[in-house]
Amino acid sequence: MDIIKRLLELIKPKAPQPLAEETGESGEGAEAGATTLETVEVEEEAETQEPETEAVPQVETAEAPEGLPVGSTRPLQEDEAFDALLTPWRSSRLVYGGKTDVGKVRATNQDAMVAIGAMLDSSSGHADFGFFMVADGMGGHLDGEKASALAVSIVAERVLRDIYIPLLHHEARDADRLTVGEVLDQAVQEANKAIVEQVPGSGTTASVVVLIGSMAHVAHVGDIRVYLVTSSGMDQLTRDHSLVQRLVEVGHITKEEAVVHERRNELYRVLGAMPEVEVDVITRRLPPGARLLICSDGLWGEVPESTIMDVLVSARTPQEACDRLVSLALELGGRDNITVVVAQMPN
């Protein structure tokens, strides 16, 4: 169990630090209150220089695609066109990035995040493993940063102990063992109980994603969003537990009106409010090359979804996508803490 203790020590959050001045200037990436794992920190790919192009010999005759004139090329199909855009990210393994920022208004960063990735290879086969979590302490509550950090720490411990370690040992699943979804549900429940007991009067939202091979397991409470980007577009996998989301679902307001609604910050389900909490658990098989985005409302509340998808498709690496998304949120106001995690499935 030493590996768990060492990992947990690395993801133990530091005490949040206030901004030097109350001028509204944003903190630089990875502000206090955000939890990251130093031993698996994302390596940003260095910008590549354009290679010198060599002259291509002219071919006197060539067969054109069926039904097209000589010299033309066949139009890309939908999946091929999307795949071509993802070429810079092509990888046979799971890749990811993350970034957090205090924003331009808040004095401290009440968001917390953790990102852990591992390659599992043996004679029994291989399956990449990823654990990603973002939590947003309640801005209107005291000790919101403590609540989000506590939630991340408790859930990380359960995931490492009850999901990752058994994978390392290739332990066969039996009828008595909990499924991944059940482990995540219990872990979030434990975090909720700990917040109620240890940080009364506070609260946090949270979304957790565990990737094993091509399977994504998601646990969700509040309004941290998880998006999936494939050749079909961008889908929101989670459902906001907010008043305005309910108003949208019953047709009282539109999705566009919800973004600017005066009660858009009111949540009816968070960690720390009640002794027990209902957790949404989702399982989804992801196609090769699919991208996942986990983000706090500091991003999706400032940047339109169409712009978010443009960045996710055009960025050269997951880390570049995170950097650009946080910068956009700051340019558009930065009124809340901003936390972003982007992961791409192997191609």
Partners of 118 in the β-ladder = 129
- Identify the domain containing residue 128 by its residue range: 2-10+29-41+82-344
Q: How many domains does one find in the chain?
A: 1
How confident is the model over 242-279, as pLDDT tens digits?
999 889 889 888 888 887 887 888 999 999 999 999 99
Token digits for 9?
A: 């020590």
Average pLDDT value for residue range 333-338: 95
Q: What is the pLDDT at residue 51?
A: 44
First to last CA, the chain: 33
The structure tokens 């399956």 sit at: 127
The answer, as to whether pTM is greater than 0.85, is no
**Cβ proximity of 281 and 217 under 8 Å:** yes
Q: What is the pLDDT at residue 256?
A: 80
Q: What is the pLDDT at residue 263?
A: 85
Q: Is residue 106 part of a domain?
A: yes
Q: In this structure, what CATH number is given to the domain that contains residue 268?
A: 3.60.40.10
**What is the rounded average pLDDT for all residues in the chain?**
81
Residue 340, SS3? strand
Binning pLDDT at 50, 70 and 90, where does residue 180 land?
very high
Q: Is residue 67 part of a domain?
A: no
Q: Is residue 259 part of a domain?
A: yes
Q: Is residue 15 part of a domain?
A: no
Q: What is the pLDDT at residue 255?
A: 82
Q: Is residue 24 part of a domain?
A: no
**Cβ proximity of 141 and 147 under 8 Å:** yes
Binning pLDDT at 50, 70 and 90, where does residue 71 land?
very low
**Strand (E) or helix (H) holding 230:** strand 225-230
Q: Is residue 213 part of a domain?
A: yes
Handedness of CA 300, 306, 309, 313 (dihedral sign): negative
Whether the pLDDT of residue 47 is over 50: the answer is: no
Residue 186, SS3? helix
Q: Is residue 17 part of a domain?
A: no
How confident is the model over 2-36, as pLDDT tens digits?
655 665 665 555 444 444 343 344 444 444 344 44
How confident is the model over 191-219, as pLDDT tens digits?
999 999 999 989 999 999 999 999 999 99
Task: Report how far Cα 58 is from the mean position of its chain's Cα atoms.
Answer: 47
| Phi and psi based region of residue 66 (left: phi greater than 0; alpha: psi -120 to 50; beta: remaining) | beta
Say if residue 196 is exposed, middle or buried (CB neighbours under 10 Å; 0-12, 13-18, 19+): buried
How confident is the model over 95-153, as pLDDT tens digits?
999 999 999 999 999 999 999 999 888 766 678 999 999 999 996 556 899 999 999 99
Rg (CA), the chain: 22
For helices 180-198 and 144-159, angle between their N-to-C axes, nearest 10 degrees = 150
Q: In what order do the strands lie in the sheet with 291-295?
A: 95-101, 338-344, 291-295, 225-230, 233-236
What is the C-alpha separation between 35 and 10, in angstroms, rounded? 9
Q: Is residue 57 part of a domain?
A: no
Handedness of CA 103, 105, 107, 112 (dihedral sign): negative
**Nearest CA among 326, 292, 290, 335 for reference residue 307:** 326
How confident is the model over 273-319, as pLDDT tens digits?
999 999 999 999 999 999 999 999 999 999 999 999 999 999 999 99
**Nearest CA among 326, 272, 316, 254 for reference residue 296:** 326
Binning pLDDT at 50, 70 and 90, where does residue 62 land?
very low
